[in-house]
Chains A and B, each alone.
Chain A
Amino acid sequence: MAAAAEASELGLSVTIIDEQPRAGGQIYRDVDKVSPSRAPILGTDYTDGKRLTESLRQSGIEYLPGAVVWAIEDQFRIMYTCEGRGAQIQADRILLATGALERPMPIPGWTLPGVMTAGAGQILLKQSGVVAKKSVLVGSGPLLYLIAAQMVRAGTPPVAMIETQTRSDLGRALWHVGGALRGWRYIMKGLKMLAEITLARVPRYSGASDIAIEGDDAAKAVTFIYKGRERRIDCDIVFLHHGVVPNPQASRSLRISHNWNAAQQSFVPKLDEWGQSDVAGVFIAGDGAGIGGAKAAEQAGRLAVLKIAEDSALLSTQDRDLKAAPLRRELGRELAARPFLDTAYPPYIAALTPDDNTTICRCEEVTAGEIRGYAKLGCLGPNQTKAFGRAGMGPCQGRYCGLTVTALLADANRQSPDETGYYRIRAPLKPVTLGELAAMDDMVQNSAE
């Protein structure tokens, strides 16, 4: 949204193709529609998104809501579905702002009805004003505290928080405290949320291990070990979270190079200082380029647009750099607290390389043990295990098993994640019906972005 506004101001012709029916992405989901009673629950970091959605109403921006992109072809023909009809658009350049996904958290019982991502819990609250009555939050990271604080404000605090980070994680994180101080606003917000959670007397079990979800047809309880003792907490809903990772589907489908980022424990696309990938003309901004948060995404989006405007001869190199300097300073401040947060709240190790019996591919119901078995048969990469056992072949196309399969194979074959690689993602990125294809609009529109 920030990039589109900047691009329009610089005289570029802009089309936004947004999968959601209303502007806001996941962070500012439905911010224009939120009721006055719910705004204080969600906080000003959320309602601040109105600034961005309003900027879309300026002239020069064509906004296509509810439009699902399912293929991006060379030099760039973008195919999408909108209101039951296929359509296509031609663009000189593309800025991917596809954001993040929850890091897959395969633990025993995570496929049961009633188990959701923490992000899903937050979307329910933001978009629909729907809250869980008897829930447990499981995992680690700032988002877990944010949703807990919002649930407290909504009058439905979680029954408990089962947290996987340990004291030694915090100890290691203190090496990055300098950066954290530069990003002090985030640390202050975190402390304030923790205070709200403590005040509401939500029990917190930090350093929990051996976490499993019980239930036959739905989640009934979470079991875990805390301070050497086995515990069991009854609940109806479980919200899982141990970080977010870039949504790789669009960038992978374009064959952009990705490298393993050890600090973020995920693959990130290879980009230059303007967010341009090694496929010329394709830029990536926001969490899809590596996790940095919503504010950092604005700066990164604007930087990409400055480069696009320069390439389009709408901006001199000198002006580009002049405008970029303050954006880079702001981006640096936004990212300053990341090393502290990444170290203090690492992923739950048991969910990175799960036990043999744990389902890791939700769609095709493949277990971690099966993937290890394929490694013994000589499978080195995820595309081989996909052919052997269908992991990654279901409707989600590996979105919620890809990183796990890479981790399991890397571990079993004693190779790095980079050597092991990731799924080859192909179009269609989202299902498209024959009816939608038949109704495909032949008209090709022109757009600069």
Chain B
Amino acid sequence: MKHVLTFLELESGPRVDVTWDGTALSLPEGSNLAAAMLAAGVGVFRHTPVSKAPRSPFCMMGTCFDCLVEIDGVTRQACMVEVTEGMVISQPQELGGQVNEM
């Protein structure tokens, strides 16, 4: 995991604690989870099931599925979720391709 701050937050507000892959992160309450994780310096959200290549958010509008993470045990698109206190977030454990295979 990379922790270089490539993004800047223009405003500050109340923050809540969550965990990301076992480490504590403090993120703006109610903010978009993918945006908050990027601003906190999370560089890699998941690895692809095929080549294990690293991925991070690409579209920010719920269409590319590159921001898939596991939140409290359920694989979800981080860009479609709002930050709440105590979220337990990790890289998705199951193969990304199996999330919605048809």
Chain A residues packing against B (C-beta within 8 Å): 19, 21, 26, 35, 37-38, 68, 101-102, 111-117, 119-120, 123-124, 127-134, 154, 156, 217-218, 236-237, 247, 362-365, 393-397, 399-400, 426, 428, 430-431, 433, 435
A-B contact pairs, 5 of them (CB 8 A): A113-B44, A128-B39, A134-B6, A218-B43, A237-B6
Classify chain B: how many residues form its interface, as a range: 35 or more
CB distance from A431 to the nearest CB of B (A): 4
Q: Are A132 and B59 in contact (CB under 8 A)?
A: no
Q: Are A363 and B36 in contact (CB under 8 A)?
A: no
CB distance from A149 to the nearest CB of B (A): 16
B93 within 8 A of A: no
- Could you give, for residues 20-60 of chain B, a 1 whenever the CB lies within 8 Å of some chain A CB and a 0 otherwise? 00000000100110011011000111001011011111111
Q: Are A127 and B32 in contact (CB under 8 A)?
A: yes
A132, B7: Cα distance in complex, Å: 4
CB distance from A225 to the nearest CB of B (A): 25
**CB neighbours of A236 from chain B (8 A):** 4, 6
Nearest A residue to B38 by beta-carbon distance?
A130
Decide yes or no: A38 and B11 within 8 Å by CB, A116-B59, A127-B35, A134-B6 being known contacts: yes
Q: Are A120 and B60 in contact (CB under 8 A)?
A: yes
**CB neighbours of A399 from chain B (8 A):** 63-64
Nearest B residue to A120 by beta-carbon distance?
B60
Decide yes or no: A247 and B43 within 8 Å by CB, A37-B10, A128-B35 being known contacts: no
Q: Are A394 and B65 in contact (CB under 8 A)?
A: yes
A131, B35: Cα distance in complex, Å: 10
Nearest B residue to A135 by beta-carbon distance?
B6
Decide yes or no: A115 and B97 within 8 Å by CB, A133-B5, A154-B10 being known contacts: no
A57, B100: Cα distance in complex, Å: 35
Nearest A residue to B45 by beta-carbon distance?
A113
Nearest A residue to B68 by beta-carbon distance?
A395
Chain B residues numbered 1-24 whose CB sits less than 8 Å from any CB in chain A: 2, 4-11
CB distance from B62 to the nearest CB of A (A): 6
